[in-house]
Amino acid sequence: MDDQRRRAADWFRELQQRITQAFEALEDRGPEDAAAGRFTVNPTERGEGGGGGLMAVMRGGRVFEKVGVNWSEVHGTLSPKAQSAMAARGVPGMETDPRFWASGISLVAHMQNPHAPAVHMNTRMFWTPGAWWFGGGSDLNPCIEYPEDTAHFHDTLRAACMPHGADYYARFKAWADEYFYIPHRGRARGVGGIFYDDLNSGDWEADFAFTRAVGEAFLPAFLPLAEKRMAQTWSEADREAQLIHRGLYAEYNLVYDRGTKFGLETGHNPDAVLMSLPPLAKWP
């Protein structure tokens, strides 16, 4: 399992590099009314010698108002609260050995142009002495929806899922629809995508291959949409709608998001954990 953990962590790091390079290349092709943005990369630490990661953030670019692409590899002992949550999810051995290891990539992009959709993606591997699993997914969050953009995003994810399980797309789309729902608002935060967690089929190689496919599908699913919308004319009303929609995103991530809760409960760098929050938002 040590070799498998190393392979997973290295792949998540490689994916981070490829995505940041692709986003900077998109910035170079963006509207020339501002300087092209560039990522600032800073190391993060979990504390107590528990590993850390690399936080890559771009702010105020031509295309991206704020985008973070974080990689992490952390380890340590789960807090009693996190330990109880894991035990409630059926993770074996939590009562006697609360050690854990986790690595993954987490991405959230908030766009300059209100016609360009915000987007989230993450893939991760989690290990305890009693179990291992993969999780992740990707979902689109437009404030002004274009049905053809939604269709392209979902079609790309469906194609990525099909070689790995005939029912994967339908199962994980339904899971995303449920997971990215905001109960107190009675609505979804976006137009969905796929989400999965606790994936352990018993075949580590197969589950890792699927997780790689999810990560590989992200750029083909999202980049064409961002490129198509980044120079589209927008109004102040469009900007207002964008800021209010970002309020929904912030509410969800602070109240319901499992990754946000886990990161804060396990002592990871709070700036990295809260990277997903938008730079500006409004509430009606």
pLDDT-above-90 percentage for the chain: 77
For residue 50, what pLDDT band results from cuts at 50, 70 and 90? Answer: confident
Q: Inform me whether the pLDDT recorded for 209 exceeds 90.
A: yes
Question: What confidence score (pLDDT) does residue 199 get?
Answer: 95
Neighbours of 220 (CB within 10 A): 14
Whole-number pLDDT of residue 114: 98
- 246, two tokens: 């970002």
Which pLDDT score is estimated for 49? 65
pLDDT number for residue 45: 86
And the tokens for 42?
A: 């800073």
Q: How confident is the model at residue 81 (pLDDT cuts 50, 70, 90)?
A: confident
Q: Which fold has domain 2-276?
A: oxygen-dependent coproporphyrinogen oxidase (3.40.1500)
CA-to-CA distance for 224 and 216, rounded, in angstroms?
A: 14
Q: What is the mean pLDDT of residues 167-177?
A: 98
Percent of the chain with pLDDT over 70: 98
Six-digit token string for 64 = 């991206």
For the chain, what are the domain ranges? 2-276
Report the candidate in 171, 180, 174, 231 with the shortest Cα–Cα distance to residue 201: 171
Average pLDDT over every residue of 21-30:
97
**pLDDT single digits (tens) 6-20:** 999 999 999 999 999
User: Catalytic pick from 110, 120, 152, 154?
Assistant: 120
Note if 152 is an active site residue. Answer: no
d(CA 117, CA 143): 7
Q: What is the pLDDT of residue 265?
A: 73
User: Are 274 and 108 within 8 A, CB to CB?
Assistant: no
Q: Specify whether the CB–CB gap between 72 and 100 falls below 8 A.
A: no
pLDDT at 230 over 80: yes
Beta bridge partners of 279: none
Tokens of 106: 């987490």
Name residues whose C-beta falls within 8 Å of residue 280's C-beta, 6 or more positions apart in sequence.
65, 243, 246
pLDDT (tens digit, 9 = 90+) per residue, 85-132?
Answer: 777 877 777 777 888 999 999 999 999 999 999 999 999 999 998 889
Instruction: Give the pTM.
Output: 0.93
